[in-house]
Structure 1
Amino acid sequence: MIAVKNVIKEYKTKKGLIKGVDNVSLEVEKGEIFGIVGYSGAGKSSLLRCLNLMEKPTSGEIYVDGVNLVSLKASKLREARQKIGMIFQHFYLASSKTVFDNVFFALKAAGKSKAESEKKVLELLDLVGLSDKAQHYPSQLSGGQKQRVGIARALANDPKVLLCDEATSALDPSTTQSILKLLKSINEKLGLTIVLITHEMEVVKEICDRMAVMENGKVIELGSVYQLFAKPKEKLTKEFIDGVMQFKLPQTLMNTCLGTIIKIHFQGEVALESVVSDVLKGFDIKGNILHGKIEYIKEVPLGVFIMELIGDQEEIDKVISYLDEKAVGVEVITNDN
């Protein structure tokens, strides 16, 4: 559905040219939810705005549904953009217009008839759960309700792609969950392709199929969300995932441990097996579980446990070999990591 080919976006500054997007290439499949993750300044917002040519790339190509947007003239580009909806972190609703009129305006701008537009607005408000708020003004709505209006407005022209620019960053955790559930529902009901940018790995874990991690304008890691959570390769990706999985032991605890500390990664159904208890029963060692957690990513379990093994080094080596066969991997933890 979306193909980004060798895209560069440069900005002129007093210090010279800066690359906000640095030679990025990636593809987003039809109907998937694709996340772009990175810290502030990583280039993710610049890349997202290039996808609908809100910002024209300095070089490279952007294909949406087989059409190279970069090559289109102004009139054709406006037409193509109607099939790309966008929602924003700060909603950008017209404060003097009702909820109904905020959505209606998007249809009017596209040249739809009044009767057709009014019917469509009511359908969209029902879809986002705001049928009873049609005559309310933005000042009368909560943050989550405002974002729902933004989503309805973005869907007004039946887009094939929905771009989400930090759509949940201004919301509290419970409201974020409701918005993510709504986006997932829309993705399934309408077959919509969704691209969202965020610095929150919880958001990616919750609804994304695949993800790209950006740093200094470049995509440094790309793959399925499960794959990147299970086996992150880049340091930045590991930082993001550690923030969700929370597996760093307090230094005071590390200092009191006398044995070998290991981190065990379990992938898929192995995460639900009794591997740890089998180790404690089958080998001549003592084990203390210091930390453990099983997460479900796209309904597939991913487990991580941290254990202290106390016993003869030869026996500990046997345990590590056994676990290495059963689990995704075993990592010996030292004070350095």
Structure 2
Amino acid sequence: MIQIQKVSKVYQTKDRLVKGVDNVSLEIGKGGIFGIVGYSGAGKSSLLRCLNLLEKPTEGTILIDGINLTELKGKQLRQARLKIGMIFQHFYLISQKTVYENIAFALRAAKTPKQQIDDRVTELLEMVGLSEKRNVYPGQLSGGQKQRVAIARALANNPSVLLCDEATSALDPKTTLSILRLLKKINRELAITIVLITHEMHVVKEICDRMAIMQDGKVIEEGQVYDIFSNPVAELTKEFISSVVSFEVPDTILAQCTGTIVKLLFKGNVAGESVISETIQQFDVHGNFLHGSIEYIQEMPLGTFLMELQGREPDIERAISYMSTRHVHVEVINNGD
């Protein structure tokens, strides 16, 4: 488990102090994938670097598996860092060294016995799907392949935690998906705790169990990814989610609607049930779909639909009441007045 307790990080600029991280407390469960989301300057990367003390917190405590990193120095801190792997947006591979040598470098730095290095590098290359690239130089690799090498290097010393700082931001969508699937595989097979920094909500939706939203150095919302997608509270969270699940309907279409416009939220198994068709059949109302989708988050469906209900007001009210009893969250957007 990672415990972040009242952590702040203050930077001295030319003329003032800037608080990059402001009194953040989080608990990240062992073996999970935790996403930290925010725009540039939100403090998410500063917080991530505090986790392995690349940035020493100005205040607060970082505990990983019960060890207080903020109390360690010198050799003890270096030893603790061996159990915290890290990958970056720009890979940071050594261009003059082959793929094999880039991974072996991490093992040599940890003073791994020479006879064990080759076996470990071979194992890691197979894990990330690059066995045939062992003698190739980074300049001959694609962006996705470079990130796979960086992941293998970060895993070299069997870390219990893997920190990912915008690890997919420099990659195209198809390659991003392949890297995210690799990270999920690593998490499941090796039980490594992954902390992932990103400004892309679809990355969190794809692989994270829990997440936090940061703004101005503070955590403004935190919880299970599914719960936050289905019921966001903070305006910034809603803004991020809208980048993945959009429900905007052109004003020209809305202007043509004369009925009651409702937003329907279906969670879990309810998303697969025929609640809408049953409602229309049982009550004297007509439905006109304006927009809708079903997303799968942590392999659970989350359906959201925008529709126009037409009919007598009492019938519409009964229809809305019925859907609510079927565990559908109904929000009236416009009552047709």
- Report the TM-score when normalising by structure 1: 0.97
- After the TM superposition, which of the residue ranges 277-286 and 1-10 deviates more from structure 2? 277-286
Quote the Cα distance in structure 2 between the aligned partners of 1:328 and 1:72.
51
Q: 1:91 to 1:271 in 2, by over 3 A?
A: same
Q: Which amino acid aligns with 1:82?
A: L
Contact in 2 for aligned 1:264/1:327 (Cα 8 Å): no
Deviation, 1:14, is 3.2
SS of 2:244 mapped into structure 1: helix
Between the aligned residues of both structures, percent identity stands at 64
The one-letter code matched in structure 1 to 2:307 is M
- Amino acid paired to 2:233: K
> What RMSD, in angstroms, separates the aligned Cα atoms of the two structures?
1.1
Q: Which runs of 4+ in 1 moved over 4 A?
A: none
Q: Which residue of 2 aligns with 1:170?
A: 170
Q: Which residue of 2 aligns with 1:285?
A: 285
CA deviations 1:62-93 (Å, max 9, x no partner) are: 00111010011221101100000000000000
CA separation in 2, counterparts of 1:21 and 1:314? 52
Structure 1 residue 328: Cα displacement? 4.0
Give the Cα–Cα distance (whole angstroms) in 2 for the partners of residues 334 and 237 of structure 1. Answer: 23
Does structure 1 residue 131 correspond to structure 2 residue 141? no
| Cα gap change, 1:217 to 1:334, in 2 (>3 Å) | farther
Question: What SS does structure 2 have at the residue aligned with 1:91?
Answer: coil
Shift of 1:291: 1.0
1:320 and 2:320 matched: yes
- 1:197 to partner: Cα distance: 0.6
1:302-334: CA deviation from partner (whole Å, max 9, x where unpaired): 110111011222222222222222234111224
1:210–1:281 CA distance, 2 compared to 1 (3 A): same
Other-structure match for 1:60: 60
Gaps of 5+ in 2: none
| Aligned-partner Cα distance in 1 for 2:197–2:319 | 41
Q: How many residues align?
A: 335
Give secondary structure in 1 for the equivalent of 2:248: coil
| 1:89 matched residue in structure 2 | 89
Once residues 291 and 29 of structure 2 are traced to their aligned partners in structure 1, the CA distance between those partners, rounded to angstroms, is 37
Deviations 1:85-108 (A, max 9, x none): 000000000111000000011111
Query: Cα offset for 1:35?
Result: 0.5
Match for residue 2 of structure 1?
A: 2
* 1:247 aligned onto 2:247: yes
Superposed counterparts of 1:166-315, under 5 Å: 166-315=166-315
Structure 1 alignment gaps of length 5 or more: none
SS at match of 1:245: coil
Q: SS where residue 244 of structure 1 aligns?
A: coil
SS in 2 for 1:170: coil
Tell me the SS of whatever aligns to 1:42: coil
**How far does residue 180 in structure 1 lie from its aligned partner after superposition?**
0.7
Q: Could you list the per-position Cα deviations for residues 268-300 of structure 1 after superposition, in whole angstroms to 9, with x for gaps in the alignment?
A: 111111011011111111110111111111111
Tell me, yes or no, if structure 1 residue 106 matches structure 2 residue 116: no
